[in-house]
Amino acid sequence: MSIVKSLSVGLGDMYYIRHSTDNFTMIDCSLSDENKKRIVEELKNQSIDKRVKRFISTHPDDDHIGGLTYLDDQLGIINFYCLANSAQKKYEDWTQDFARYCALRDGENASFVYKGFSRKWTNQSSEERRCSGVEFLWPILSNKDYQDALRLAANAASPNNISPIFTYSIAEGPTFLWMGDLESDFQEKVKNEISLPSVDVLFAPHHGRRSGKVCAKWLDQMSPSIVVIGEAPSEHLDYYPGYETITQNSAGDIIFDCMDGKVHIYVSSNTYWVDFLTDENRPNAHGAYYLGTHNPKA
């Protein structure tokens, strides 16, 4: 059994994957004084029996690294995955969490990801243990538009477009895809550089904002079964007409329980519902309410 959880943290992103292998992956961080103790305790409990633990940082915006200092102090981030960058902040935007991001990025435990990145137990199995099933599809380091985005971030401009694209896949099961906060205009520039796989669950970039709407070419390639719309203010959201969606503003926490070749989906709101999932009459679980079941693409 594997679990992917999208945590409801307000105006930010935070996920974890409890792999069916001996792996545990955290993706981004958006902790507040109100939720940090509860969420970190959950992370400790969910990862206690996993030997290989990693943190993937998509980019160093406050809504993706908020509370990173607390998280690192409590858990001790050993494997820090990010893009090789020299991102900076203006003096008034400098925070303790950005300083910790820089320390982890520039430290000896950092791994810099890119298209084709390979590492034992991330996407290489061994006799000791199976890999996590995480694959990085972007960036292409030689791409001029990506290099321009790196230069902008190094000059204290927005780091949104130094986000990676990566998937988590389960053999004979679902595929999940993340894009950080890649903006729509940047996607248009690089859309012909890569092809994206068919996916079951797409976490809409930039929290589902119109400014991060996935370009038509990539949407056609992925043909996502479910698009998760993040927690940006509703007036800024694109609801991806023509696609089935789960909106985190209303659903709360979203848990994807991958077992028996299916994905059983749970949410923390007891009033949220959708009509496109199969009802298998499963009991509530994971401290959340059963929403329905998705059968992964063949």
> 196, 222 in Cβ contact below 8 A?
yes
CB 50 within 8 A of CB 23: yes
The pLDDT, as a whole number, for residue 298 is: 64
Closest by CA to 205, choosing from 224, 22, 193, is 224
Q: Which amino acid is at 83?
A: L
pLDDT 10s digits, 159-183? 999 999 999 999 888 999 999 999 9
Using the structure block, give the residue that is written with the tokens 């070419």. Answer: 217
What would you measure as the largest C-alpha separation in the chain, in angstroms?
54
Q: Per the omega criterion (within 30 degrees of 0), is the bond before 139 cis?
A: yes
Residue 95 binned pLDDT confidence (cut-offs 50, 70, 90): very high
pLDDT digits (tens, 9 = 90+) for 18-38: 999 999 999 999 999 999 999
44 class by beta-carbon count within 10 Å (0-12 exposed, 13-18 middle, 19+ buried): exposed
∠ at Cα 85 (187, 182), nearest 5°? 20
pLDDT at 1 over 90: no
168's torsion region: left (phi>0), alpha (psi -120 to 50) or beta? beta
Confidence at residue 200, expressed as pLDDT on a 0 to 100 scale = 97
What does the alpha-carbon distance between residue 243 and residue 132 come to, in Å, rounded to a whole number? 28
Picking from 46, 55, 59, the residue whose alpha carbon sits closest to that of residue 19 is: 46
- CA angle 25-197-167, nearest 5°? 5
pLDDT in tens, 228-277: 999 999 999 999 999 999 999 999 999 999 998 899 999 999 999 999 99
CA–CA distance from 86 to each of 38, 52, 79, 151, 152 (Å)?
Answer: 32, 27, 19, 8, 10
How is residue 126 written in tokens?
């061994």
The token duo for 170 is: 């389960």
Q: Which domains does the chain have, with CATH numbers?
A: 2-294 (3.60.15.10)
Q: Per-residue pLDDT tens for 43-67?
A: 999 999 999 999 999 999 999 999 9
What are the tens digits of pLDDT across the range 116-134? 999 999 999 988 899 899 9
